[in-house]
Amino acid sequence: MLTSNNKIFHRKKIIALFFLLTLLFVVLFGRLVYLMVWRAGYYEELATRLHERERSIKAARGRILDRNGTVLADNKTVCTISVIYNQLQDKEEVIRVLCRELDLTEEYVRKRVEKYSSMERIKSNVDKTIGDRIREYDLPGVKVDEDYKRYYPYGELASKVLGFTGGDNQGIIGLEVIYEKYLQGEPGMILTVTDAKGIEVDEAGERRIEPVAGNDLYISMDRNIQTYATQLAAQAMATKEADSVSIIVMNPQNGEIYAMVSVPEFDLNNPYEIPKETLAKIQGSLGEDTGKDDTEQEDKAQNQAVSEAQTAGDALSAEQRQDILNGIWRNGCINDTYEPGSTFKMVTAAAGLEKGVVTPESTFSCPGFIVVDDRKIRCHKVAGHGAEDFVHATMNSCNPVFITVGLRLGVDDYYYYFEKFGLKKKTGIDLPGEAGTIMHKKEDMGNVELATVSFGQSFQITPIQLLTTASSIINGGRRITPHFGVKTLDEQGNVVEEFAYPVEEGILSEETSATMRSILEMVVSEGSGKNGKVEGFRVGGKTATSQTLPRGSGRYIASFVGFAPADDPQVIAIAIINNPQGVYYGGQIAAPIVRQLFENILPYLGIKEYNEL
Amino acid sequence: MAARRNKKRRREQSEYFFDYSLLFIVLFLLGFGLIMIYSASSYAAFEEFGNAAHYLERQAVASVIGLIAMIVVANIPYHFWERFAVLGYVVSAVLIVMVLSPLGVESHKARRWIGIPGTGFNIQPAEVAKLCMILFLAVLVCKIGNSIRTMKGFIFMILAPMPIAGMIYIITKNLSSAIIVIGISVLMVFVASPDYKKFIVLGLGVCCAAALLIFLITSTDLIGGFRSGRIQAWLDPESDAQGIGFQTLQALYAIGSGGIWGKGLGQSMQKLSFLPEAQNDMIFSIICEELGLFGAVAIILMFILLIWRMMIIANNAPDLFGAMLVVGVIGHIAIQAILNIAVVTNTIPNTGISLPFISYGGSSVIFLLIEIGLVLSVAKRIQLKEL
C-alpha cells in the first residue's frame, strides 16, 4: 500500500514523466513541421522525379531552305513501334499483328515481345499510315510513338553540303552539323506516373512537355543553279571518265555560295548505302591481278566483280565500311587540297602588280624554259612564246614569265602577299572539316621553291580557298568569307538571327584589282581561256592543268576559274575535273563547263548582256 | 423506461471506475491502424499474394484475439499476476533462446520469431519479454521498498533487466527491442525512486556517449560495419540513396510530399513498391503522405491523450504495484511511438521499431492490448470516492 509520502513523490514523478514524454512528442512535431512545410517542395520534387517515367518526344528539326525558299531538307512524320512488357496482355495477338503489319519474321518479333525489359523497340521509321493502323488495334502494351525523320526532297542534290542526320536527329556532316544548335530544337517529354516496377498508374494520367521545333535555316544556295551545276558536273564526269568533278558558284562580292557540287554525290535519304559501282570498283582493285592477265575474260571478270561486290557489301568489316562511307561523304571542294596550277598565276600577277615589279606593259621573252639556280624549268610550250608583254604572258599562261615575276618579288615579298591574301588561313566557310593550306615554310623556301609556287605548283590549297582568293583579287581587294548560312527563322517566320561574316578590306588596291579584271578578261576573250567565252557577256577567267603527284603518273587535274561580268563581277565559278581521260587541258575541258553554266545562270541571275546596257 | 433509468442510476452509483476514454482511444488507434495498413499494403499485397486485403485480414484476426485477451485481463484483478513475475522473467528468457531452435522462424534476414505449430502465426519473444519485464519490475519495486533510495538498490534495479535485454540483442540481433526493454526499466525506476539527480546524470551520460560514438564514426574509420553505416546514412541519407539510406530517403519523400493536408487517403505514391514494407515500421510516413501534417499531428495527439489517460490511472492507482504496472505500459507505448516517429522522420538513425497499435504486426498488437487490459484492470480498482 502506498504511504501518503510515497504517493506524493510518485505522483510528481509520473507527472514529470508525462511532461517529458509530451516534450519529446512536441520535438517530433517540430521536426514534422520542418519536413512537411519547409522541406515539402524539395522532397515532393524528388518524389515526383522518382515516380515519373519519361519518354522523350523528338522536336521537329528546322528545315533548310534555299535562297528562294525551296525546301531542301524537311521532316517526315514516321512512327516508332515498341512494346512494354509489363503492360502486354495477349502476347500471341501482339506478335501476330506486328508480324503482319510490319512485315517482320515471327522469330524476330517474338524475341522482342517476350524479352523482359521496361520498353523494347520493335521497329522505328515506320510509315505513319502503318503506325495509325497498328494504333487502331488498341493493343495494351503496344506503343506507337510519332517521330520525325529527316527527309531530303531532292535526294542527291547538294548532298555533301547539306549533310544528313543520325538516329537521334543530330547532324552527321555538312550544314546539319554546323547549324545543329539552330536546327535541333528542344525535345519534349511525355511523363507517365509509374510504380517502382515501371508499371503505369492508370488514374494518374500523363503530363506532356511539348517539344520546341528547331529554327529554319535559309542558305544562299540556289536550287536551280545547284541542279544545273550538278548536271554539268555529272555529264563531264561521264564523258571524261573522271574520278570526280567539282563546281563551286559564288558571289565574289559577299561570299554567298550559290552552288557547290562534288560529283559523285550520294543519296541523302540513304546515306549509309554503298552504291554497287563503288563496291565493284573496290572489289575490282582488289582482284586486279587475276583480271588483267586474260583480256578475253575481262568482261566476265567484270560481271563477276559486280556480283562479288554485292556479297562483299555484307562481308566488309565495320571499319572498312566506315572508311568507304567517309570517302563517299567527302566534300572535295573543302575537305581536299590540290595543286592549283596556272589558276594560281592570278595571285602571282596580283602580287607583282601591287608591288610594282611588273606592269601590264612590261615585256618579256620566253625561250621555252627558264633556269633557276641549277634547275631548268620548262614552259608548257616547248618552242617558247617568244617576245610578249605581261598581258599576253598571262593570256598564254607562260611559266617563265611568272617565274620571273615571282623571283623579282623575292621570297620575303612573295610570302608577305601570300599571307596578306589570306592563303595561309582557312577561309572560315560554314562547313565542317575545311582543310588547311599545305605550304613551304618561309625559311625553307629557296628560289626553286619560289619559282614553282609562282605558277601554282609544289603547294596545296582547297578549291574554296582558290575561289575565295580569286574573288578578293577581282572584287577590289576585299577578302570575303565564303558561306551558305544567311538567316534562321522560327516556326512563325520571325527572323531569329541573320548571320554576318567577316570581311577583310584592302588586301589589294582597287587599281590592281581593276588591272587584274581586265587582264583576266583578255585571257578569256583572246587567250588560253577562250572556251569560257559567253556570247553577250564580259567574262574573265584563268585556266589550269596540273599534274598530280607523283609526276609522270599521267593523272591530271583540269580546272577553270571564271567570273562575270568582267568589269563588275557578280558571279564567280570554278570547275575542277579530277583525273580526266583523253584531253586533259583545263582550257579545253573545264572552261566549257563554266561557259555552259554562265550561259544559263547569268540571265537567270538578272545580269544584263553588255549590249543591253 | 423505469428499468432503464434504474440501470443508469446504478452505473452512476458504481463504486468502481472504468476508463472508457482510454478504451476508445485504443479502439480508435486500432481501427485507424487497420485502415492505414490496408491503404499502405493493398498494392504490394495484391502483387505478392493476389489478395489486396492479405495484411489487413491477418492484422484484423490478431486485433480480435488481442481485444478478447484485453477483456479477459481487464477482468482479472491485477494482483493475480504478481505471483508470475519470476516465472515470466524465466519464460521470456527461454522463449528468446527458443528462437535458435527449429521452431524459430527467419524473416527479413533476421531470426526473431517462433512459429506456433499448426496456426501459421508467429510470435515474437521480444514482445513477451517487454510485458514480462513490466510485470517483473513492478513486483520488484514493491518488494525492494525503501531500499531503492540507496545506491545499491538503484544499481540492482538498473541491472535487473540487463540479462534479458542482452539476450534480445545478442540472440535475436534486435537492438531496438533491447533498447525498449532498457528504456521501460529506466522509466519505471525513475518513477519508483524519489531521486532526480541520478537520472539527470544518467541521461547526460547516455547523450555524451551517443555524441562521442557519432563523432568517432564520422571523423575516423575506427568503427566500421553495419551500425556505423546506419549512422552515416542518418546524417546524410542522400549519400547512399541506393543502399542503407534508401528506406529513410523513401520515407522522407513520402513525408515531404504529403504537405500540410496530404494527398488524401489511399493516394500515396510511395506505397507503390517504392517504400518497402510500407505497412510495417514506416507506416507513419504513409500516414504523413496521405493525410499530411494534419493527420500526423492528430496521431501524435492521440498518443499524448493515451499517455495522459494512463497517467491519471497511475496517479490514482490503489497501490504501488498497480501504479508501476501502468507506468511500465506508459513507458512501453511512449518509447515505441516516439522512437518510431523519430526514425521515420530521420531524427535518429534507422532502427526497426513499430508504431504501437498502427503498424502491422500480430504479436505486437496482441501484447499491447494485453497491457491495456492490465491498465484497465488497475483502473477498475480505483475507488471513485478517491477521485
Amino acid at A577: I
A511-525 pLDDT, tens digit per residue, is 999 999 999 999 999
A246 touches A332 (CB < 8 A): yes
B186 vs A contacts (CB less than 8 Å): none
A568-603 pLDDT, tens digit per residue, is 999 999 999 999 998 888 889 999 999 999 999 999
A-interface mutation test, from B196, B247, B269, most A Cβ less than 10 A away: B269
Contact B256 A201 (CB under 8 A): no
| C-alpha span between A541 and A380 (Å, rounded) | 19
A400 touches A379 (CB < 8 A): yes
B341 vs A contacts (CB less than 8 Å): 25, 28, 32
A408-446 pLDDT, tens digit per residue, is 999 999 999 999 999 999 999 999 999 999 999 999 899
The CA-atom distances, in angstroms, between B183 and each of B58, B134, B190, B331 are 29, 11, 10, 7
A522-551 pLDDT, tens digit per residue, is 999 988 888 999 988 999 999 999 888 777
Q: What is the 3-state secondary structure (H, E, C) of A400-450?
A: HHHHHHHHHHHHHHHHHHHHHCCCCCCCCCCCCCCCCCECCCHHHCCHHHH
pLDDT of A151 higher than 50: yes
DSSP structure class, residue A546: E
pLDDT category of residue A293 using cuts at 50, 70 and 90? very low
Q: Please give the residue that has the higher pLDDT: either B366 or A11.
A: B366
Of A12-21, B137-146, B265-274, the poorest mean pLDDT is in B265-274
Contact A36 B314 (CB under 8 A): no
pLDDT category of residue B334 using cuts at 50, 70 and 90? very high
Contact A35 B260 (CB under 8 A): no
Return the pLDDT at A284.
61
Amino acid at B358: I
Contact A17 B190 (CB under 8 A): yes
Return the pLDDT at A202.
61
Q: CB neighbours of B186 closer than 8 A, spacing ≥ 6?
A: B158, B199, B202
Q: Of A82, A220, A262, A342, which one is the catalytic site residue?
A: A342
Q: How many CB atoms lie within 10 A of CB B144?
A: 17
Percent of chain A with pLDDT over 90: 50
Beta strands in A26-100, from DSSP E residues, in sequence order:
52-57, 64-65, 71-83
Whether A311 and chain B come into contact, CB under 8 Å, resolves to no
Cis peptide upstream of residue A550 (ω within 30 degrees of 0): yes
Whether A14 and chain B come into contact, CB under 8 Å, resolves to yes
Return the pLDDT at A315.
62
Mean pLDDT, all residues of chain B: 85
B33-90 pLDDT, tens digit per residue, is 999 999 988 888 887 888 888 999 999 999 999 999 999 999 999 999 989 999 999 9
A2 vs B contacts (CB less than 8 Å): 319-320, 323
Of residues B102, B74, B109, the one with CA closest to residue B372: B74
pLDDT of B385 higher than 60: no
A8 vs B contacts (CB less than 8 Å): none
pLDDT of A88 higher than 70: yes
pLDDT of B351 higher than 80: yes
* Alpha-carbon distance B334 to nearest alpha carbon in chain A (angstroms): 7
Of residues B111, B84, B78, the one with CA closest to residue B96: B111
Q: A284: helix, coil or strand?
A: helix
Q: CB neighbours of B210 closer than 8 A, spacing ≥ 6?
A: none
Return the pLDDT at A389.
92
| Burial of A190 per CB tally in 10 Å (0-12, 13-18, 19+) | middle
Here the ipTM equals 0.90
**B316 → chain A, closest CA residue:** A11
Of A110-119, B3-12, B122-131, the poorest mean pLDDT is in B3-12
| C-alpha span between A147 and A79 (Å, rounded) | 5
pLDDT category of residue B272 using cuts at 50, 70 and 90? confident
Cell, residue A33: 513541421
Q: Which of A24, A41, A201 has its CB closest to that of B272?
A: A201
**A21 → chain B, closest CA residue:** B334
Cell, residue B282: 514506416
A438-471 pLDDT, tens digit per residue, is 999 999 899 999 999 999 999 999 999 999 999 9
A548 touches A557 (CB < 8 A): yes
Return the pLDDT at A226.
95
Any bridge partners for residue A206, and if so which? A192
The enclosing H or E element of A193 equals strand A188-193
Return the pLDDT at A141.
81
pLDDT category of residue B249 using cuts at 50, 70 and 90? confident
Any bridge partners for residue A574, and if so which? A248, A561
Cell, residue B64: 480480435
A37 vs B contacts (CB less than 8 Å): 259-260, 293
Q: CB neighbours of A105 closer than 8 A, spacing ≥ 6?
A: A99
Question: What mean pLDDT do residues B314-330 have?
Answer: 91
Domains and CATH numbers, chain A: 54-219 (3.90.1310.10), 341-612 (3.40.710.10)
Task: Output B162-170 pairs: Cβ under 8 A, ≥24 positions apart.
Answer: B163/B93, B164/B89, B164/B92, B164/B93, B164/B96, B164/B129, B164/B132, B164/B133, B167/B93, B167/B96, B167/B97, B168/B96, B168/B125, B168/B126, B168/B129
Return the pLDDT at A1.
43
Return the pLDDT at B48.
80
The full set of domain ranges for chain B reads 29-75+236-387, 85-195
| C-alpha span between A306 and A315 (Å, rounded) | 14
Of A57-66, A117-126, B196-205, the poorest mean pLDDT is in A117-126
Any bridge partners for residue A536, and if so which? none
DSSP structure class, residue A38: I
Using the structure block, give the residue that is written with the C-alpha cell 553505416. B229
Contact B345 A21 (CB under 8 A): no
Return the pLDDT at A139.
83
Return the pLDDT at A119.
75
Return the pLDDT at A197.
65
B256 vs A contacts (CB less than 8 Å): 35-36, 39-44, 46-47
pLDDT of B2 higher than 70: no
Percent of chain B with pLDDT over 90: 40
Of A77-86, A560-569, B94-103, B126-135, the poorest mean pLDDT is in A77-86
Return the pLDDT at B222.
53
pLDDT category of residue A205 using cuts at 50, 70 and 90? low
Any bridge partners for residue A369, and if so which? A378
Question: What mean pLDDT do residues A389-413 have?
Answer: 92
Instruction: Specify whether A342 is catalytic.
Output: yes
Amino acid at A158: A
A394 touches A529 (CB < 8 A): no
Q: Length of chain B, please?
A: 387
* Alpha-carbon distance A19 to nearest alpha carbon in chain B (angstroms): 9
Return the pLDDT at B284.
93
Of A245-249, A438-442, B147-151, B345-349, the poorest mean pLDDT is in B147-151
A305-352 pLDDT, tens digit per residue, is 444 444 555 567 788 888 888 888 999 999 999 999 999 999 999 999
pLDDT category of residue A353 using cuts at 50, 70 and 90? very high
pLDDT of A145 higher than 90: no
Mean pLDDT, all residues of chain A: 86
